[in-house]
């Protein structure tokens, strides 16, 4: 799976979770960049990403992810 394919799918997950069709993500996107991205929505987002990509993040991965780029890298490694 290419990074572009990962980002296409991630974008759809983000738009669905945050109910906002205008969301655009990139490597540097963080919770500060998306209005409704709080700790509760983070849990929902992680679950939705896991379902979309059929993976399970390890707890330390979830707590150490600093941006969407790190999430995409983990997906790419497992993909």
Only one residue has tokens 């296409």, namely 8
pLDDT in tens, the chain (79 residues): 899 999 999 999 999 999 999 999 999 999 999 999 999 999 999 999 999 999 999 999 999 999 999 999 999 998 7
Tell me the C-alpha to C-alpha distance, in Å, between residue 27 and each of 7, 33, 42: 9, 12, 17
Nearest in space to 17 (alpha carbons), one of 25, 27, 28: 25
The whole-model pTM stands at: 0.94
CA distance 4 to 10: 10
- What class, spelled out in words, does domain 3-78 have in CATH? mainly alpha
H or E element in which residue 55 lies:
none
Q: Name the helix (H) or strand (E) containing 61.
A: helix 59-64
Res 17: pLDDT: 98
Give the model's pLDDT for residue 79. Answer: 76
């Amino acid at each position: 799976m290419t990074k572009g394919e990962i980002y296409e799918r991630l974008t759809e997950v983000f738009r669905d979770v945050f109910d906002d069709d205008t969301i655009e993500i990139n490597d540097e996107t963080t919770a500060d960049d998306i209005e409704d991205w709080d700790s509760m929505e983070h849990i929902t987002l992680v679950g939705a990403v896991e379902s979309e990509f059929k993976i399970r993040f390890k707890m330390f991965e979830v707590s150490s992810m600093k941006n969407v780029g790190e999430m995409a890298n983990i997906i790419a490694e497992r993909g």
